[in-house]
Amino acid sequence: MWIRRYVGVLLCGLLLVVPAVPGRAQQAGPIKVGVIQPLSGSVAASGNYVRMGAEIARDWINARGGVLGQRLELAIEDNKSDPKEAASAAEKLIVRDKVPAIMGAWGSSMTLAVMPKLEEYGVPMVVETSSASSITTKGNPWVFRISPTSEMEALGLEKYLGSLEVKKADFLAVNTDWGRGAVKAFGDALQRRGLQAGGTDFMDQAATDMSAQLTKIRATGADTLFLTTSVEQITLVLKQAQEQRLARRVISTGGSSSPDQLVKQAGAAAEGTYHILFFLPWFPEAMPDGRLAKAFVDEWKKRGHPFEGLTEGFRGHDGIATLAEAIRVAGKAEPQAIREALWKVSLMGVNGPIKFEKEGPAGKESGQNRPSIFVVQIKGGKAALPDFMAKR
């Protein structure tokens, strides 16, 4: 009798222990990663386009068998275009949903607000959009950015300043970490070339009337205006500049503008403007991997998404593809293993090659990719490669 009782207790113990084995527990369900984007608020259009791109990546990955033989799922949170909400969203994803990695959080101020949570809980995040240099120089080893810094953008444009015939430039930027960082980066580029900086003005992220700033800029006598903000606010600035008959060459920075959307919303006010972008959906063959770029454009159209969203949507694809590759390299969906694997990632994204270099204080480096950077001009109501780019 005692033997039967002993065997029964042993079997019960085994049944309790087996589900706790890490490898077997993971096989039971999908691998879930977090996504933090502005799905409402002042920059909601951009955030939703990034979400759409992330969903394409998820579906393509799952169609190929998922990650480590498991389906990939996205746990998506809305940061409401607000840094405090972004930090709260990160905590929800980590504590409630127990995601092993995150992609986010569009704006630099939102990403910076999330970063302390990454260190507190030890969870890596792939930054798909933000460009403030402090994101990768603060010393957060859980941050891996695939988007370029403002300094990288400025260096990418600097060699064309002569072709653009820039002699004196003003700056108008959204009053966030992103906007302030861009003003400094592009101002430094002008200084390196011995060119003049005119006036600098900022606008609130939710502002709709920039006439006062434009009036001040008009008095500087500059020939160029560097404009850093979301596509919605760019539209308003261009319209109001046209109303004031402000004669300036306009160059938008940050890759958040959508030339097609500007043509639709700003009309003739957008004609002749230049835009720094990181994806050319009109000319996918010009991208580093033309086949991948065309496949992404075709899939985007197939789903009925607005074409103008492609210049943001590709970011979502590349961010999720990067996380999926890191999980594959790690061999498990565990935060520390994914962080270590991100240093080994080497893949081709829609933007181009993705591979991380160390940036920041020794021992606490963040990862920074060196993305492809392009310039387009609105000519005849559509996006075109400027003459100096077309001749390359």
Q: How do residues 163-199 score in pLDDT, each as one tens digit?
A: 999 999 999 999 999 999 999 999 999 999 999 999 9
Beta bridge partners of 277: 374
HSE toward the beta carbon, residue 351, CA cutoff 13 A = 29
- Residue 387 confidence (pLDDT): 86
Domains identified in the chain and CATH numbers: 29-148+288-368 (3.40.50.2300), 152-277 (3.40.50.2300)
Instruction: Tell me the average pLDDT across 151-174.
Output: 96
Q: Taking the alpha carbons of 148, 154, 155, 161 in that order, is the dihedral positive or negative?
A: positive
pLDDT digits (tens, 9 = 90+) for 75-119: 999 999 999 999 999 999 999 999 999 999 999 999 999 999 999
Which pLDDT score is estimated for 1? 36
Q: Which residues of 205-221 are buried (b: 16+ CB within 10 A; e: fewer)?
A: bebeebeebbeebbebe
**pLDDT for position 390:** 66
Average pLDDT over residues 139-146: 98
Distance CA 308, CA 299 (A): 14
pLDDT at 157: 95
**Nearest Cα residue to 270 out of 234, 233, 224:** 234
Q: What is the per-residue pLDDT across 372-382, written as a single tens digit (0 to 9) for each? A: 999 999 999 99
Whole-structure pTM value: 0.90
Tokens of 299: 């899939």
